[in-house]
Amino acid sequence: MKIRCLAIDDEPLALQQISSYIDKTPFLEKVALCQSAFDAMEIIENELVHLLFVDINMPDLNGMDFIKSLSKKPQVIFTTAYSEYAIEGFQVDAIDYLLKPINYNSFLKAVNKAKTWFELTQWKEKAENETDEVFVKSDYKVVKVRFEDILYVESANEYIKIYIDKNEPITTLMRLKIFEEQLPVKKFMRIHRSFIVNIEKISAIDRNRIYIGSKTIIPVGEQYKETFQKFLHKKMYRSSDNTH
């Protein structure tokens, strides 16, 4: 799973540099680039964001005050040309502080700290809070969905469709990425930008196609093939071991 990042800087060149560094780093995923803290607020409220790169000196609302104002706080790496802000930055629990001009080595050291934090805390918290069901809003009702009943989940623009065995799919206003975060990682796999499947419901695999039951065929997307092949090899290896 990648760390989802948002960068905020009123200087376009500085913002593009951070953007290029995010793109260059395999375990990071860029959510958005913003030139003001106000633009970032709405995105943070509506998108899953793990890590912020925030310039401190910005007009209207500076980065430090912006972080203090957030009710939902992602992890933060401050970026600034002024070293005197370093102590204040750590007082708001920033992961790191990057002094401009920022080189990639410094950037990589900072995001590796974020990666360590993410692995030690986010996944642990997810495991501890994992349940066997989720509640979603569909039409005018709130519907309980048991994870074990889900066959697969399909993205439909701003909506997702949750397919349940022998029932009509449940449609809810939610991005697939957000729903993916709520699913048990050991039971569900993203195999396409538009599909997540319940691993236990796979009935057959034919090259780059997955069968759910006898009729539903789901393609494995190009960017997900390597991960799926590793999963498949692991499963086949275990099955082979069990025959001896």
List the CATH number of the domain containing 203. 2.40.50.1020
Q: How far apart are CA 85 and CA 10, in angstroms?
A: 17
Tell me, what's the pLDDT at 90? 52
Number of domains in the chain: 2
Q: What is the CATH number of the domain that holds 94?
A: 3.40.50.2300
- Same domain, residue pair 17 and 106: yes
Q: State mean pLDDT over 52-68.
A: 85
Tell me, what's the pLDDT at 125? 58
- Same domain, residue pair 153 and 176: yes
pTM: 0.52
Q: Is the pLDDT of residue 242 over 80?
A: no
* Share above pLDDT 70 across residues of the chain, in percent, rounded to a whole number: 87
Tell me, what's the pLDDT at 121? 67
Confidence tier at 65 by pLDDT (50, 70, 90) = confident
Q: State mean pLDDT over 77-102.
A: 75
Which domain range does residue 39 map to?
3-127
Confidence tier at 162 by pLDDT (50, 70, 90) = very high
Tell me, what's the pLDDT at 69? 86
- Same domain, residue pair 20 and 60: yes
Q: Is the pLDDT of residue 98 over 70?
A: yes
What secondary structure does DSSP assign to 155-224, as a single string?
Answer: EETTEEEEEETTSPPEEEE--HHHHHTTS-TTTEEEEETTEEEEGGGEEEEETTEEEETTTEEEEPPGGG
- Same domain, residue pair 97 and 143: no
Q: Tens of pLDDT along 147-160?
A: 999 999 999 888 99
Q: Is the pLDDT of residue 224 over 80?
A: yes
Q: Is the pLDDT of residue 7 over 90?
A: yes
Mean pLDDT (the chain) is 85
For the chain, what is the radius of gyration of the CA atoms?
21
